[in-house]
Structure 1
Amino acid sequence: MFLGTGEAYVSKKKLPGRLKWAEKTHRREYPNDWVVDIRQDVTDADYAMDYTECGICKLCRDEGVPDLAKYLCKLDYVLADLMGLALTRTTTIAEGGTCCDFRYNLR
């Protein structure tokens, strides 16, 4: 499986498509989907986004295993590392936060 490079992931060229995608998530077309805000105001990250609704949390809740979600969240760090990125996150929905704040920086 090829994940791509960190440089490609944080590329500013992807911003228009990501903004369009984020706007679409706010329509909530699918009940167990994510809702995301792309954070252009964050200056200490190469790419920043906040998930305000989490599809994994919704699925785990529906399946009766809500605690599983916080362990699945740890995979985000593994994927970031594989792409050569540092991920910083201060809160997750799975751990009771109001959002999952993703802040990616190239290493």
Structure 2
Amino acid sequence: MTGTIHPFYESHRDAMEAAMRQRLDLAEPMLRERAGLHDGDRIRREVMDEFAVVLTQLPYVGGTASRMSDFFMRLMGFVAIGRVLRRHGVPLPVIGDIGRETYKAEWLALPAEARLAAGRRFLSPENRAHLREQAARSRLEEFSEDFVYEFVEPGPGDGFAFGINYTGCGICKFAARHGDDALLPSICGLDFDAYAAQGIHLDRTQTRAGGAEHCDFRFRALVPDRKE
């Protein structure tokens, strides 16, 4: 392995590696049944070795001052998994399915009260004000590898609480730099279950990874299923 880990990520390394080990525990049955990879210990070692490489590649985008740092720390472990599975010849759609179901299981392993409270905070007026500030800051492009986005206010008759248009995607930039473009659909697919687990419905019709000018995220509270 070459390269060094930025001090910000180094300070979170133990927690990130622990999350990866938990993620691999959740993924192991799917790796056997869907990917045909039966040597779980070997795959685990390969993924953790690749994750160590990914950690040296993570761009610094402001640390705790930027909400997008958390996105990099949460999602880039799936790049390590995807790289290893591709080397073993696992088809990209299977990689995407394993990633989405694993991430969903991660979220659902958290107490429902905590997940839904996080969703309410995300939709709150206080967080909307924070997002407006962060969006304005992102457009200054202080960090070249960061996301760039704008806050979208709902208009009359719109069915969403608020939106975010990502005109620059940090994960797309990372993928282009490191040859991971084929994994982008798998990474983009993680968003829906993550928000749903927090009681948030996400509408999105296009992505930067799919060639659009921006990713059009639209958020609203998820209506509970009355039949439950």
Paired with 1:70 and 1:93, the residues of 2 have a C-alpha distance of: 10
Matching of residue 77 in structure 1 with residue 192 in structure 2: yes
User: Which of residues 124, 128, 143 is equivalent to 1:30?
Assistant: 143
Answer yes or no: is the 8 Å Cα contact 2:160–2:219 preserved in 1.
Answer: yes
Paired with 2:119 and 2:130, the residues of 1 have a C-alpha distance of: 17
Give CA deviations for 1:44-67 in whole Å, capped at 9, x if unaligned.
211211000000000001001212
Answer yes or no: is the 8 Å Cα contact 2:122–2:128 preserved in 1.
Answer: no
What amino acid does structure 2 have at the position aligned with 1:85? I
Larger proportion of strand: 1
Paired with 2:218 and 2:200, the residues of 1 have a C-alpha distance of: 10
User: Which of residues 175, 192, 217 is equivalent to 1:102?
Assistant: 217
- Answer 1 or 2: higher relative contact order, Cα 8 Å, separation at least 6: 1
TM-score of the superposed pair, with normalisation by structure 2: 0.44
Paired with 1:69 and 1:104, the residues of 2 have a C-alpha distance of: 21
Which sits farther off after the overlay, 3-12 or 54-63?
3-12
Paired with 1:72 and 1:14, the residues of 2 have a C-alpha distance of: 24
Q: Which runs of 5+ in 2 are unaligned?
A: 1-109, 223-228
Aligned to 2:134: 21
Paired with 1:69 and 1:27, the residues of 2 have a C-alpha distance of: 25
Cα distance change of structure 1 residues 94 and 22 upon mapping to structure 2, 3 Å threshold: same
Answer yes or no: is the 8 Å Cα contact 1:35–1:53 preserved in 2.
Answer: yes
Give the C-alpha shift of residue 13 in structure 1.
2.1
Q: Which runs of 5+ in 1 are unaligned?
A: none
Give the C-alpha shift of residue 84 in structure 1.
1.0
Paired with 1:65 and 1:82, the residues of 2 have a C-alpha distance of: 27
- The size of the alignment, in residue pairs, is 107
Aligned to 2:168: 53
Give the root-mean-square deviation of aligned CA atoms: 1.6
Aligned to 2:59: none
Larger proportion of helix: 2
What amino acid does structure 1 have at the position aligned with 2:137? K
What amino acid does structure 2 have at the position aligned with 1:32? E
Answer yes or no: is the 8 Å Cα contact 1:67–1:94 preserved in 2.
Answer: no
Aligned with 1:49: secondary structure? strand
Give the C-alpha shift of residue 41 in structure 1.
3.7
Paired with 1:47 and 1:104, the residues of 2 have a C-alpha distance of: 6
Answer yes or no: is the 8 Å Cα contact 2:204–2:217 preserved in 1.
Answer: yes
